[in-house]
Amino acid sequence: MGTTATGETTKNRRRTNGAPEVDAVVVGAGVAGLYMLHRLRGLGLSVQVFERGDGVGGTWYWNRYPGARCDTDSVEYSYEFSDELQQEWRWSERFATQPEILRYLEHVADRFDLRRDIQFGTTVTEAAFDEAAGRWRIATDDGARISATYFIMATGCLSAVNRPAFDGLDRFEGEWYHTGAWPHDKVSFAGKRVGIIGTGSSAIQSIPVIAAEAEHLTVFQRQPNYTIPARNAPLDPAEYAAIREQYDELRSRAKENPAACWWELNPATAEELSEDERRQELESRWELGGLAMYGVFNDVLANPAANDVATEFVRSKIRALVDDPHVAELLSPHSFIGCKRICLDTDYYATFNRPNVTLVDISDAPIEEITRTGLRTGGKEYEFDTIVFAIGFDAMTGPLLRVDIRGRDGQTLKAKWADGPRTYLGIAIEGFPNLFTISGPSSPSVLTNMIPSIEQHVEWIADCIAHARASGRPCIEATRQAEDEWIAHHDEVAAGTVFPGCNSWYVGANIPGKPRRVMPYTGGFPEYVKKCDAVAANGYEGFTLSVARA
């Protein structure tokens, strides 16, 4: 890595703690790792954080592509653990840009003096549980070793990029970029012929921005996505002041929402509404912008008939926004809405009315190869100066499995998860004592506002560690039975939703060979929190505590 936007360089790659042994190692200094460090320090633990990037921010450190901004309102996409923090910070727009969110996380790191325990520019490569000692032995790519009682993966759900595996990429003579690992210096598209592969959230945000600058932009689409106008705008000072006064109330109300968001979930099913009422509800959520469409009908994610009402509505909007009926049809998804992440955009559909933008449907003709001067698909060659890969991530399991993690009896996490991830609550894994995953598979994570979900995990994990230490049996491990029961419940709930019915990254369909299963917990945030709270209240039911089970 070179110099970051914040001027930090790889000189930061030094052992901040210096100790060969600490109470806890945390991997990642994004939203989750920063708060985990703060919370564990509060318990009096010695903590070492390792961060691959040269600065804090996690997802907001890496995803610097043009147009990158959050799809959750900035006033709710922020920590709530410190009232002083939420009162002193000022968001400027409804949906904050990547640079603004990164500045916020840098402010958090400074305000809580977190950097002194973070070693930047360092990748954790291996972690093995030493059963005799009851400690994790952890190796990093600088050749160093450290041991810790607790090992916490705060590596995020979307941090392992789906690397372009197209034949011929090494021959390409132009420039190419991945949206999820964008350079820190500005990339110029002026006067360039640009090709972009992918039409997920990252592409949908960047396409209008690139099209405004490039000589020509060609978009290669495998499957279209549903996208809703973001309706971004500067925050109104009076409205913002009112929000700051009611933060507590708004945030606790969000905890009743399945996605931990402030949008209202319609209590009525589609069937309970008249056609006019359904139309009004859809129109008002389209006008409101943001992700409120997820709550348009109580059963939109559970009942295919209700889902069809919403999908036909969005398709009618696409037909109205795109001039060429053939292009409008290509841009119109026919899958369930919400079973892939709904995207938010600014002028996405209108961009396809520009004379310098071409849509190429590759649903039946995969990209055959990258050539010296561009790419070939459907037997046709396209020439580009720049190719942008907006092809997403090896989601949820990718960030965990790229570290060689070994639990009891040397069992690797990779072997344990050969048929798909298995966890207890998305937080703990049987056979891997004292390992915690923040937003792990089978937690609501990516189906919710990530920040309250992360805070809930961090606080739960910190309480769990405090409990284990206070009991004099600091080694805590999920039982096989608890894990089996959680996974059975997780699968049963998922089967009653639209999520299994789409080729999405939620089910691993975007990564060839990845076992197919719904990865996030689909039962909603309130139900999930109730379950976590009950587990804790019942003395960490489903866990065993020991001194160190040699």
Contacting residues toward ligand N01, per CB under 6 A: 70-71, 158, 179-180, 197-203, 205, 222-223, 341, 344, 367, 390-393, 446, 505, 510
Q: How many CB atoms lie within 10 A of CB 123?
A: 15
Angstrom distance (rounded) from CA 291 to CA 234: 18
Q: Given the complex with ligand N01, which of 4 and 232 has the nearer CB atom?
A: 232
Nearer to ligand N01, 48 or 155 (CB): 155
Cα-only R_g, the chain: 23
Nearest distance, CB of residue 222 and ligand N01, angstroms: 3
390 touches 196 (CB < 8 A): yes
Residue number with the smallest Cβ distance to ligand N01: 200
Tokens of 439: 């937003």
* DSSP H helices in 11-125: 31-42, 59-62, 83-88, 98-111
The token duo for 334 is: 């026919």
Q: Which CB, 222 or 251, lies closer to ligand N01?
A: 222
- 519 in Cβ contact with 395 (< 8 Å): yes
Angle at 359 between CA 354 and CA 363, to 5 degrees: 165
Q: How far is the CB of 47 from ligand N01 (least distance, A)?
A: 28
Q: Are 322 and 349 in contact (CB under 8 A)?
A: yes
H helices of 194-274, in order, are 201-213, 237-245, 247-254
Amino acid, single-letter form, for residue 543 = F
Q: What's 519's DSSP letter?
A: -
Separation between Cα atoms, residue 168 and residue 172, nearest integer Å: 7
Nearest to ligand N01 of 147, 311 (CB atom): 311
User: 159 Cβ partners below 8 Å, 6+ apart?
Assistant: 28, 30, 58, 59, 62, 393, 398, 399
Query: Which alpha helices (H) appear in 151-236, and where do they start and end?
Result: 201-213
- Report the nearest approach of ligand N01 to the CB of residue 502 (Å): 9
| Closer by beta carbon to ligand N01, 361 or else 483 | 361
Comparing CB distances to ligand N01, the nearer of 407 and 520 is: 520
CB 207 within 8 A of CB 68: no
314: left (phi > 0), else alpha (psi -120 to 50), else beta? Answer: alpha
Closest approach of Cβ 267 to ligand N01, in Å?
26
**Distance of closest approach, residue 79 Cβ to ligand N01, in angstroms:** 17
- Of 358 and 479, the one with the shorter C-beta distance to ligand N01 is 358
**Backbone angle region of 346, left / alpha / beta, with phi > 0 → left and psi within -120 to 50 → alpha:** beta
Minimal distance in Å, beta carbon 164 to ligand N01?
8
Percent of the chain as helix, strand, coil, to the nearest 5: 35, 20, 45
Residue nearer to ligand N01 on the CB measure, 394 or 455: 394
Q: How far apart are CA 351 and CA 212, in angstroms?
A: 9
Widest CA span of the chain, in angstroms?
Answer: 70
Centre a 10 Å sphere on the Cβ of residue 17 and count the other Cβ atoms it contains. Answer: 18
Task: Give the shortest CB-245-to-ligand N01 separation in angstroms.
Answer: 27
Q: How far is the CB of 221 from ligand N01 (least distance, A)?
A: 7
CB of 479 to ligand N01, least distance (A): 32
Q: Which is nearest to 219 in space by CA: 319, 351, 314? A: 351
CB nearer ligand N01, residue 346 or residue 434: 346
Please state the closest distance from residue 64 (CB atom) to ligand N01, in A. 12
Min dist CB 344 to ligand N01, Å, is 6
Residue placing its CB nearer to ligand N01 in the complex, 198 or 440: 198
Taking the C-alpha atoms of residue 124 and residue 403, their distance in angstroms, rounded to an integer, is: 7
Please, what is the minimum distance in Å from the beta carbon of residue 347 to ligand N01? Answer: 15
Q: Which is nearer to ligand N01, 200 or 500 (CB)?
A: 200
In this structure, how many other beta carbons lie within 10 angstroms of the beta carbon of residue 149?
23
Give 465 or 511: the residue with its C-beta nearer to ligand N01: 511
